[in-house]
């Protein structure tokens, strides 16, 4: 690998490490801060925590369009990272519900650009130089896992819980400056926005895979809300919850490393279906009310599910969409999984939890995953039919 390419790869890896360290510092502990330090009730905390997915639904496609139409994705990425980090400091100066809600909305609007735009740049560059995208994205999982562990310890120590906001701010400011050193991956041509969106939403395979993402990836993200309750219900302590999260998130790293090889060997849709199957098996297992040590052991299934689905899903979107609307396609895809799918699974899961139990929530997640696997096979059949036609 030539020196310039190696430096660009290190830059991308550093960006993901910093960005996800910031996200891992803030969101797993924000609900605890709002409850214990501010004194908000469950409804208020739930509203603030659900702002992110809702903003993603609306703003991720917009940021993708801005990135494509300006043809300056690195500028969009750098500025949104910096602004999101600065707005997060607002949590330090607010102690009333509506003020905190405004801060959460402002952070979410700008943060919603970061992952899809950086993914779009990374995918284009790694495809050009023949490098495995998973070896870049795994640094995000590594950063998130380390952050949850370190910030949990620091928050309980003499520093206090406000450390999570400073950490988020510092990490996003640093990653924002780092993004200006990204490879200049630009669209092949200027985008006619209306024509581009029309083209995107007339693609049958794209629409079906959006549904797959909604059904498979949405529950995996919603699990971040319910997993702590599940571990607690299984007899775990707060320390146990942190340990379970650490095992689950770090297990994504090795699978992201091997994802590229598996994709080349078995195919994108086969790997996506395997990720969906891993999710479904995990959720069904949780429905059986397993003992705590089995919960810790099974947390590695998250690596198989998310560690494979993220690289496979992004590569599939890139392969089936034209180059001039790649960023828009990736942000729409991200809005469906990170936004709409996450929100739907969390929202409906809340009703199921209140009416039945935390275990029934995971049965619901399993049913969604099963439907996602079915749609993967529909796409496989469609591709075979197209191959035979040629």
Residue 256 is part of a domain; what is its CATH number? 1.20.1250.20
Instruction: Please give the pLDDT value at position 192.
Output: 54
Are residues 231 and 211 located together in one domain of the fold? Answer: yes
* Structural domain boundaries enclosing 307: 189-390
pLDDT, residue 218, reads 92
**pLDDT single digits (tens) 212-223:** 999 999 999 888
Which residue, of 181, 212, 247, is where some domain finishes? 181
Tell me the whole-structure pTM to 2 decimals: 0.75
Does 371 lie in the same domain as 227? Answer: yes
Of the ranges 62-76, 165-179, 296-310, 323-337, the best mean pLDDT one: 165-179
| Cα–Cα distance, 34 to 39 (Å, whole number) | 6
Question: Can you tell me the mean pLDDT for 1-26?
Answer: 90
- Count CB neighbours of 223 within 10 A: 26
Looking at the fold, whether 149 and 196 belong to one and the same domain comes out as no
The tally of domains found in the chain comes to 2
Q: Look at residue 92 and give its three-state secondary structure.
A: helix
Q: How far is CA 3 from the centre of its chain?
A: 30
Q: Do 194 and 173 belong to one domain?
A: no
Phi, psi of 157 (to 5 degrees): -85, -160
Query: Do residues 148 and 86 lie in contact, with contact meaning Cβ atoms separated by under 8 Å?
Result: no
**Could you tell me if 176 and 195 lie in one domain?**
no
If asked whether residues 146 and 281 sit together in one domain, one would say: no
Same domain, 144 and 287: no
| pLDDT at site 389 | 59
Q: Write down the mean pLDDT value for the chain.
A: 86
225 close to 285: Cβ distance less than 8 angstroms? no
Q: Do 206 and 172 fall into the same domain? A: no
CB 61 within 8 A of CB 325: no
pLDDT given for residue 272 in this prediction: 93
276 vs 295: CA distance, rounded Å: 19
Same domain, yes or no: 166 and 193: no
Tell me: do 135 and 74 sit in the same domain: yes
Are 176 and 194 found together in one domain?
no
- Are 57 and 97 found together in one domain? yes
Q: Are 390 and 286 in contact (CB under 8 A)?
A: no
What is the pLDDT, as a whole number, of residue 62? 85
- Averaging pLDDT over each range in 137-151, 192-206, 274-288, 321-335, which range is the top one? 274-288
At which of 181, 204, 225 does a domain end? 181
- 357 Rama class: left (phi>0) / alpha (psi -120 to 50) / beta: beta
Last residue within a domain, chosen from 181, 208, 230 = 181
């Amino acid at each position: 690998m030539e020196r310039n390419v190696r430096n660009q790869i290190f830059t991308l890896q550093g960006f993901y490490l910093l960005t996800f360290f910031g996200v891992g510092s803030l969101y797993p502990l924000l609900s605890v801060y709002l409850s214990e330090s501010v004194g908000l009730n469950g409804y208020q905390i739930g509203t603030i925590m659900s702002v992110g997915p809702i903003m993603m639904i609306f703003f991720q496609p917009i940021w993708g369009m801005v990135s494509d139409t300006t043809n300056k994705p690195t500028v969009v990425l750098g500025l949104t990272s910096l602004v999101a980090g600065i707005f997060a400091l607002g949590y330090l100066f607010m102690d009333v519900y509506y003020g905190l809600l405004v801060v959460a909305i402002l952070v979410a609007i700008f943060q919603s650009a970061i992952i899809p735009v950086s993914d779009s740049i990374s995918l284009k560059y790694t495809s050009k130089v023949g490098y495995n995208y998973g070896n870049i994205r795994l640094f995000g999982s590594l950063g998130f896992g380390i952050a949850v562990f370190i910030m949990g310890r620091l928050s309980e120590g003499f520093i206090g819980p406000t450390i999570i906001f400073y950490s988020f701010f510092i990490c996003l400011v640093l990653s924002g400056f780092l993004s200006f050193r990204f490879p200049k991956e630009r669209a092949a041509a200027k985008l006619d926005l209306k024509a581009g969106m029309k083209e995107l939403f007339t693609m049958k395979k794209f629409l079906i895979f959006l549904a797959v993402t909604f059904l498979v990836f949405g529950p995996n993200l919603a699990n971040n809300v319910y997993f702590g309750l599940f571990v607690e219900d299984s007899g775990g302590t707060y320390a146990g919850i942190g340990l379970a999260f650490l095992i689950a998130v770090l297990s994504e790293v090795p699978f992201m490393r091997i994802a590229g090889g598996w994709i080349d060997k078995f195919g994108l849709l086969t790997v996506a279906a395997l990720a969906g199957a891993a999710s479904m098996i995990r959720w069904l297992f949780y429905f059986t009310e397993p003992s705590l040590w089995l919960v810790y052991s099974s947390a590695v299934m998250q690596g198989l599910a998310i560690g494979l689905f993220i690289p496979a899903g992004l590569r599939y979107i890139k392969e089936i969409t034209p180059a001039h609307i790649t960023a828009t396609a990736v942000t729409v895809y991200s809005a469906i999984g990170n936004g709409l799918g996450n929100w739907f699974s969390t929202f409906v899961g809340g009703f199921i939890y209140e009416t039945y139990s935390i275990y029934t929530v995971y049965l619901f997640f399993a049913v969604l995953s099963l439907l996602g696997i079915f749609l993967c096979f529909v796409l496989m059949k469609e591709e075979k039919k197209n191959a035979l036609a040629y």
